[in-house]
Amino acid sequence: MNSRIAEIQSRIIALQTQRAGTTPASATSAQGTFASHLQGAIASTAPTGQTYKLNSKGIPEDLAAYGNGKIPETALARVGNTGHKLWAPAAQSLNGMIEDARRDGVEIGITDSYRPYAEQVDLARRKGLYSQGGLAAKPGTSEHGWGMATDLDLNAKALSWMRKNAGNYGFVENVARESWHWAYRPPT
Ligand SMILES: [Zn+2]
């Protein structure tokens, strides 16, 4: 997978160089579109069979090393063509799940995803902490801060589809009274 990404990246650079030489005026937007389509394509490829070593809190060790809410862009990937991002393996699995659901006539929307630390602080201020009856995790502890949880827009049909199938993609409903919140459990 890594070598494939490296190969694709080198092709992008080659293409960008070509475009920069021929059509400087429109090159930037064309590159952006191409790169974002490509990222979507990579993110929706089938799982690779890779497994992850988890720390005592269930967070992959490589991810934990970055710190909650401090995940670099390079470790994140986009969900479909939305502005939402998750830890790349979670995004990849979610993209596959959304496609398969669509094939079953089920629409899965996304309302929230990776949440950088500053956004966790802001959310806690606006919605209150769980420990005080609110709707936000203590900043620095949110699953969203690991890019390992997503909030989904699910109608009744989609929710029942999720409850039946999401486990196959590593997603679990793990917060009581938050049927929109789904956490990713990476293969170990
Ligand atoms: Zn959530």
134-148 pLDDT, tens digit each: 989 999 999 999 999
Q: How far is the CA of 21 from the centre of ligand 1 (A)?
A: 45
pLDDT at 26: 46
pLDDT at 21 > cutoff 50: no
Q: How far is the CA of 118 from the centre of ligand 1 (A)?
A: 16
Q: How far is the CA of 89 from the centre of ligand 1 (A)?
A: 18
Residues 38-49 have pLDDT tens digits of 555 555 445 568
Q: How far is the CA of 15 from the centre of ligand 1 (A)?
A: 39
Say if CB 188 and CB 59 are below 8 A apart. no
- Any idea of the CA torsion for 18, 78, 43, 40, to the nearest 10 degrees? -50
pLDDT at 124 > cutoff 70: yes
Residue 100 pLDDT class (50, 70, 90 cuts): very high
pLDDT at 31: 54
Asked which of 1-5, 18-22, 57-61, 176-180 is least confident by mean pLDDT, the reply is: 18-22
Can you read off the two tokens belonging to residue 49?
A: 């069979």
pLDDT at 14: 54
Buried b / exposed e across 144-160, counting CB within 10 Å, b at 16+?
bbbbbbbbbebeeebbe
Give the residue, 83 or 13, on which the prediction is more confident.
83
Q: How far is the CA of 150 from the centre of ligand 1 (A)?
A: 6
Task: Please provide the average confidence, as pLDDT, over all residues in the chain.
Answer: 85
Q: How far is the CA of 110 from the centre of ligand 1 (A)?
A: 11
Query: What pTM does this model have?
Result: 0.74
Q: How far is the CA of 91 from the centre of ligand 1 (A)?
A: 15
pLDDT at 151 > cutoff 70: yes
Which DSSP state fits 179? Answer: T
Q: How far is the CA of 114 from the centre of ligand 1 (A)?
A: 9
Q: How far is the CA of 52 from the centre of ligand 1 (A)?
A: 22
Residue 2 pLDDT class (50, 70, 90 cuts): low
pLDDT at 7: 62
d(CA 55, CA 60) in angstroms, rounded, equals 6
Q: How far is the CA of 115 from the centre of ligand 1 (A)?
A: 10
Percent of the chain whose predicted confidence (pLDDT) is above 70: 74
